[in-house]
Amino acid sequence: MGRKVHPTGFRLGITKDHLSRWYAEGEDYARLLAEDRAIREKIETELKRAGVSKVEIERSPQQVSLKIHAAKPGIVIGRKGATVKELRQSLHEMTSKRIKVDVEEIKRPDLDAKLVAETIADQLSRRVSHKRAMRQAVQRTMRAGAKGIMIRVSGRLGGSEMARVDSIRDGRIPRHTLRADIDYADTIARTTYGVIGIKVWIYKGDILPGEPLVV
């Protein structure tokens, strides 16, 4: 059995920063960790059309501060701020704390592994050929300025009787290099033949000593 390490967890504290930044002990830690997961699931479900990539969470005793990274921030904010106001109210009811929401636009969504993976998942759900979806994603990402990309899909590809794995790669993906800025994401596509898993690695370059961490 191969030994595999999550590309983000491998680099935490070296070139990657934590998405949740707070401190707690004992039962409080478990409760707040579950609350963080519930907040992220709620945001990703309710703002699916906004292309949410990641949610940063910081906590103080009476406030939860969120930074939502989205490809379409206008959908997150809504008309005259109505959508973000509703989100703030529902999260306040969930956590019983003040909610502060900041929205940051993802200017190059083709360089975001989460958004690339979800685009492929959406195409597979609409019965697009997996090879075509992967090839188009690789071309868009490399044109956007990536130094390398690898995509791996697994499951009953094309409706085959037996599950299999297929992958495509372009450029360099130095997964063992700690200073390499590799964005990783995985998701699933629900098709009529079953669930297909999708993994995406995007290499953007190196982060040298003294440069700020990335989330």
- Each residue of 198-215: pLDDT tens digit? 999 999 999 888 788 887
Asked whether the whole model's pTM tops 0.75, one would answer: yes
23 and 98 housed in the same domain: yes
pLDDT of 1 > 80? The answer is no
Q: How many domains does the chain divide into?
A: 2
Cβ contact 181:22 at 8 Å:
no
pLDDT tens, position by position, 27-44: 999 999 999 999 999 999
Give pLDDT, residue 118: 95
56 located within any domain = yes
Kindly state the average pLDDT of the residues 152-178.
93
Q: Using one digit for the tens of pLDDT, what is the confidence trace for 65-103?
A: 999 999 999 998 988 889 999 999 999 999 889 999 999
Q: What is the domain range of residue 114?
A: 109-206
Q: What is the mean pLDDT of residues 10-26?
A: 91
90 and 166 inside one domain:
no
- For residue 213, is it within any domain? no
Return the pLDDT at 2.
60
CATH code of the domain containing 133 = 3.30.1140.32
